[in-house]
């Protein structure tokens, strides 16, 4: 009889509360019910669990924390100082790309020519924009699910049952235990390892090539650097001296060289340098949706597109819409982040600090333990390793990390040297107000 669980109100009674009527209509019964269960579960685990809880109280709690859409994926402010954060979904999309997704989410002419009423090539506007984006004559493009899928498709088309030349210095693990050599092996090609970890020469490639070599693969070691006694062979040299096509996996998807990232390869430079096929991800430095981008001569691109398994790697209309808007619309957040200066980031951090101080004074609470510091940000997401980007952060007590992560919106910073850093490099100035509000709420919650 004393089991506190007994005093928790039943789910149906909570769902019947008027505050949940509109959320039930907007978000659906399954979703809201799951949230009610989660809130009940959380309350059950409190020491004073649920004594005398009222259905209306729990309903109000649920209603206060419902998201705008019935998904458990939550919006996060990326205050890590890492521009392309893999665990936060890599590149955030531009407002234009988000609008394009919404527009394409309805019925759309992704495979129909509205003038003739006949079937049209899928996503031809996006594909044309992608081909044009590199500004190299005679180049066509194709899009698949991600960079890994693009590599697999290249193997299927250019080296079926054959071998691929790859320098031992480029045998890369992408992340989360996925290794490029294993990916290639599963795609049915043999890897002919060339050279050594630190040095590979043209002669190494020339000795390794034989009649069953499908292509030479250049992989940009996008998440590490090798220093010291090193040498590699450039795309130009390979394409001039080898009798097989050269495929360049540049990783991050820069279209053209970026002044701030001088060692980061671009699709344009790789194509102009003589690569027959260039592969990149859409959601790294390009700043677009998850996608595998391929550029090459029209006949090769057509062969990729017509491969029977190409269908298994096909992207959906939402990806095509977001990709086209990223390429043709205003600069995406990743590009914007790369233009920020430390001075600008410092002054934003100082403004946020001042705002927090004003709020604390108005609420008559203790002054906040905070400071503005210089930091070194990074591109991240497997791009520009070793490049640090001058940035600035405000520091907060480390015990705020958890309440900020679970707040609305969630804020993810970085705990370093016993303090929480809220780095502004990857935060849009449009989010400064929401960020300040989230910090103020976390401070209030901690103070209680």
Ligand X SMILES: *Cc1c(COP(=O)(O)O)cnc(C)c1O
Nearer of residues 15 and 219 to ligand X, judged by Cβ: 219
Q: Cα(244)–Cα(239) distance, rounded to whole angstroms?
A: 8
Is the link from the previous residue into 46 a cis peptide, with omega within 30 of 0?
Answer: no
CB 189 within 8 A of CB 233: no
Smallest distance from ligand X to CB 143, Å: 11
Piece of the chain touching ligand X by CB under 6 A; list 19-27, 144-152, 160-168, 262-270: 144-152
Of 220, 305, 346, 421, the residue at the interface with ligand X (CB under 6 A) is 220
Of 123, 195, 251, 296, the residue at the interface with ligand X (CB under 6 A) is 251
Piece of the chain touching ligand X by CB under 6 A; list 7-15, 134-142, 216-224, 259-267: 216-224
Smallest distance from ligand X to CB 311, Å: 18
The torsion angle over the Cα atoms of residues 423, 426, 429 and 430, rounded to 10 degrees, is -120
CB 276 within 8 A of CB 189: no
Smallest distance from ligand X to CB 313, Å: 11
Smallest distance from ligand X to CB 12, Å: 45
Smallest distance from ligand X to CB 89, Å: 12
Nearer of residues 112 and 183 to ligand X, judged by Cβ: 183
219 binds ligand X (CB under 6 A): yes
Instruction: Please give the C-alpha separations between residue 199 and each of 137, 139, 171, 182, 227, in angstroms, as whole numbers.
Output: 33, 32, 13, 22, 11
Instruction: State the number of binding residues for ligand X (CB under 6 A).
Output: 12
Smallest distance from ligand X to CB 383, Å: 7
Piece of the chain touching ligand X by CB under 6 A; list 33-41, 186-194, 218-226, 235-243: 218-226
Nearer of residues 40 and 155 to ligand X, judged by Cβ: 155
Nearer of residues 146 and 201 to ligand X, judged by Cβ: 146
Smallest distance from ligand X to CB 249, Å: 5
Of 146, 190, 347, 441, the residue at the interface with ligand X (CB under 6 A) is 146
Smallest distance from ligand X to CB 288, Å: 11
Smallest distance from ligand X to CB 292, Å: 6
Nearer of residues 320 and 440 to ligand X, judged by Cβ: 320
Piece of the chain touching ligand X by CB under 6 A; list 34-42, 97-105, 129-137, 146-154: 146-154
Piece of the chain touching ligand X by CB under 6 A; list 141-149, 308-316, 346-354, 438-446: 141-149
Of 377, 382, 407, 413, the residue at the interface with ligand X (CB under 6 A) is 382
Of 15, 126, 174, 425, the residue at the interface with ligand X (CB under 6 A) is 174
249 binds ligand X (CB under 6 A): yes
Nearer of residues 143 and 439 to ligand X, judged by Cβ: 143
Of 141, 148, 216, 435, the residue at the interface with ligand X (CB under 6 A) is 148
Burial class (CB in 10 A: 0-12, 13-18, 19+), 65: exposed
Closest alpha carbon to 4 in 50, 53, 54: 50
Per-residue x/- marks for ligand X, 262-281, CB under 6 A? -------------------x
Q: Cα(268)–Cα(152) distance, rounded to whole angstroms?
A: 22
Smallest distance from ligand X to CB 177, Å: 13
CB 353 within 8 A of CB 370: yes
- Nearest residue to ligand X, scored by beta-carbon proximity: 147
- Interface residue list for ligand X (CB under 6 A): 146-148, 174, 219-220, 222, 249, 251, 281, 292, 382
């Amino acid at each position: 009889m004393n089991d506190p669980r007994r005093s928790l109100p039943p789910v149906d009674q909570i769902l019947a509360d008027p505050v949940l009527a509109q959320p039930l209509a907007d978000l659906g019964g399954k979703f809201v019910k799951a949230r009610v269960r989660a809130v009940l579960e959380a309350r059950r685990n409190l020491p004073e669990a649920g004594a005398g809880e009222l259905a209306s109280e729990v309903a109000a709690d649920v209603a206060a924390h419902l998201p705008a859409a019935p998904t458990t994926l939550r919006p996060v402010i990326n205050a890590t100082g890492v521009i392309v954060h893999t665990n936060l979904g890599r590149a955030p999309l531009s407002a234009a790309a988000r609008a394009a997704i919404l527009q394409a989410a309805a019925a759309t002419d992704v495979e129909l020519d509205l003038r003739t009423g006949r079937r049209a090539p899928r996503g031809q506007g996006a594909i044309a924009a992608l081909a044009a984006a590199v500004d190299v004559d005679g180049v066509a493009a194709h899009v698949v699910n991600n960079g890994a899928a693009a590599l697999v498709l290249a193997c299927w088309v250019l080296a079926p049952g054959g071998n691929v030349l790859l320098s031992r210095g480029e045998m890369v693990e992408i992340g989360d235990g996925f290794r490029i050599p294993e990916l290639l092996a599963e795609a049915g090609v043999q890897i002919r390892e060339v050279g050594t970890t630190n040095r590979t020469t043209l002669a190494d490639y020339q000795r390794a090539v034989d009649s069953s070599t499908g292509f030479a693969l250049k992989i940009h070691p996008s998440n590490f650097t090798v220093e010291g006694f090193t040498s590699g062979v450039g795309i130009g040299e390979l394409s001039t001296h080898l009798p097989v096509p050269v495929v360049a996996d540049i990783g991050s998807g820069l279209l053209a060289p970026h002044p701030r990232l001088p060692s980061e390869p671009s699709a344009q430079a790789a194509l102009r340098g003589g690569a027959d096929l260039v592969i990149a991800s859409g959601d790294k430095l390009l700043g677009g949706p998850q996608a595998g981008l391929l550029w090459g001569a029209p006949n090769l691109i057509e062969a990729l597109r017509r491969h029977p398994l190409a269908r298994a790697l096909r992207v959906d209309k939402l990806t095509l819409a977001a990709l086209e808007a990223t390429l043709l619309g205003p600069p995406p957040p990743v590009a914007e982040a790369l233009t920020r200066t430390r001075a600008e980031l410092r002054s934003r951090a100082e403004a946020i600090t001042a705002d927090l101080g004003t709020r604390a004074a108005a609420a008559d609470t203790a002054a906040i333990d905070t400071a503005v510091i210089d930091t070194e940000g990074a591109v991240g997401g497997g791009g520009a390793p070793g490049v640090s980007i001058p940035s600035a952060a405000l520091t907060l007590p480390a015990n705020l990390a958890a309440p900020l992560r679970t707040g609305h919106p969630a804020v993810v910073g970085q705990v370093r040297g016993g303090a929480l850093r809220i780095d502004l490099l990857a935060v849009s100035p449009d989010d400064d107000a929401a960020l300040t509000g989230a910090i103020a709420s976390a401070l209030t919650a901690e103070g209680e």
